[in-house]
Amino acid sequence: MTVSSLQATRSRWQSLGSVRRVVQALCFPALQLHTTSSVMQVSQEEFEKAKEQLKSLKEDPGNEVKLKLYGLFKQASQGPCNVPKPGMLDFVNKAKWDAWNSLGSLSKDNARQAYIDLVSSLVSMKSPKEKTASDSKSKYQTLEVITQDNITKIMLNRPQKKNAITTQMYNEIMQALEEAGKDDSVITVFTGSGDYYCSGNDLNNFMNIPPSGKEKMAEDSAVMLEKFVSHFINFPKPLIAVVNGPAVGISVTLLGLFDIVYATERATFQTPFSQLAQSPEGCSSFLFPRIMGFAKANEILIFNKVLTAVEACDRGLVTEVFPDTTFQKEVWARLKNYAKLPKNSLAFSKQLIRGMDKEKLHIVNTQECKLLKERWLSDECMNAIIDFFQKKSKL
């Protein structure tokens, strides 16, 4: 292989999107090594081994990585893409086709080696903490739930995925809220692990269409979402959000149902519903205009405005903003003092303050979920999601 062809191959690979960050350090050192039949045979054995290693991954590597793995596997097995391009509405198969087709004329040998290197990177990226968590018998796989100092802390625990919410996480959060509502703690605190508070819904939820079809999936998703939001509406104790980083989508809209919201200065708040041809949820269509006024709420809920922590505080969505360097220390010291207050007094006071709106919030929640179900089944929403994945794959 000439230097120019090696550079061309590397250039094609670097254009594949965000997976580049995973394999960038590899820089294809092995491309110049596979020149003999014996080495190629070893590479084939390693390829088979990599396929088995991939099955052992406990953590979902994410849609982008899975698409790159698919493309490399097809390229290594069959060569350059030679099948017709699927229709625009068949967005799952179209995404797969794009991943394969983007590899161009990359040889089978080089695709095989790239596949091996990528799988190896994914396996090695598993930290000791993750391995311990996957081997533990904790009933929560996507959360870390701890009760200490009269505080139940529910921490979203998918830092590699920016704490994006999967179907499993929805169910685990509901279970954690049910238990926290009944335990001996005085207050309950939500936060995120890593750099993000929460990046909203994991869009892989939209990719896994069951055999029963998208209509059934939309119906089930709407029922689950309504039940999920109801857990926040009905929660009996003071509920406090400790927003440790950027928040997106439902993690923002739910903040109106929290009793206090503390944020680090580097947090941002965004509800990109219109970009994905969807509509507000979490009772935000009712609570946000009440909190900040219609015009300010419309900027966020309809026109996708991103708020800084200070802006969110000025609009009443956030209670107080703290310097990032002292955020955790200051907030948790304050929370520990709150947790020393009389438990029943806090609970009864919350019910008095929130009780008048509870029936209205449940009605709003039902209406929001009904509209979302219609949105999810619309061509407009499907096309918006397709555009989102296409743009993301080009980053």
Q: What CATH number has the domain bearing residue 256?
A: 3.90.226.10
Q: What is the DSSP secondary structure assignment for residue 165, as one 8-state letter?
A: B
The verdict on pTM exceeding 0.85 is no
One domain, residues 212 and 307: yes
Identify whether the C-beta of residue 202 lies closer than 8 Å to the C-beta of residue 222.
no
Dist. CA 39–CA 112, nearest whole Å: 12
Q: Is 175 helix (H, G, I), strand (E, B) or coil?
A: helix
Of 266, 308, 275, 265, nearest in space to 201 by CA: 275
In a domain, 133, yes or no: no
Total number of domains constituting the chain = 2
**Final residue belonging to a domain, choices 127, 157, 189:** 127
- When the pLDDT of each residue in the chain is averaged and rounded to a whole number, the result is 84
**Final residue belonging to a domain, choices 127, 147, 178:** 127
Given this model, what pLDDT does residue 232 score?
A: 98
Given this model, what pLDDT does residue 277 score?
A: 94
Identify whether the C-beta of residue 363 lies closer than 8 Å to the C-beta of residue 286.
no
* pLDDT score of 303 more than 50: yes
Q: Which helix (H) or strand (E) holds 320?
A: strand 320-322
What mean pLDDT is predicted for residues 184-209? Answer: 88
Q: Which helix (H) or strand (E) holds 148?
A: strand 143-148
Amino acid at 61: P
One domain, residues 198 and 93: no
Amino acid at 231: H
One domain, residues 327 and 218: yes
What mean pLDDT is predicted for residues 316-325? Answer: 97
In the chain, % of residues over pLDDT 70 = 82
**Final residue belonging to a domain, choices 93, 127, 161:** 127
One domain, residues 97 and 174: no
What mean pLDDT is predicted for residues 220-226? Answer: 96
Non-local CB neighbours of 344 within 8 Å, separated by 6+ positions: none
One domain, residues 153 and 187: yes
Dist. CA 63–CA 166, nearest whole Å: 12
Residues forming beta bridges with residue 269, ordered by sequence position: 247, 307
Given this model, what pLDDT does residue 138 score?
A: 66
What mean pLDDT is predicted for residues 293-311? Answer: 97
Residue 14: CATH number of its domain: 1.20.80.10
State the residue range of the domain holding 12: 3-127
Of 184, 161, 318, nearest in space to 242 by CA: 318
One domain, residues 163 and 269: yes
One domain, residues 287 and 156: yes
- In DSSP notation, 50-84 reads HHHHHHT--S---HHHHHHHHHHHHHHHH-S--SP
What mean pLDDT is predicted for residues 1-11? Answer: 45
Per-residue pLDDT band for 214 (boundaries 50, 70, 90) equals confident
Range with the lowest mean pLDDT among 10-19, 91-100, 286-295?
Answer: 10-19
Helical residues (DSSP H) of 102-166, grouped into ranges:
108-124, 128-135
One domain, residues 81 and 170: no
In a domain, 102, yes or no: yes
Given this model, what pLDDT does residue 94 score?
A: 79
Given this model, what pLDDT does residue 206 score?
A: 63
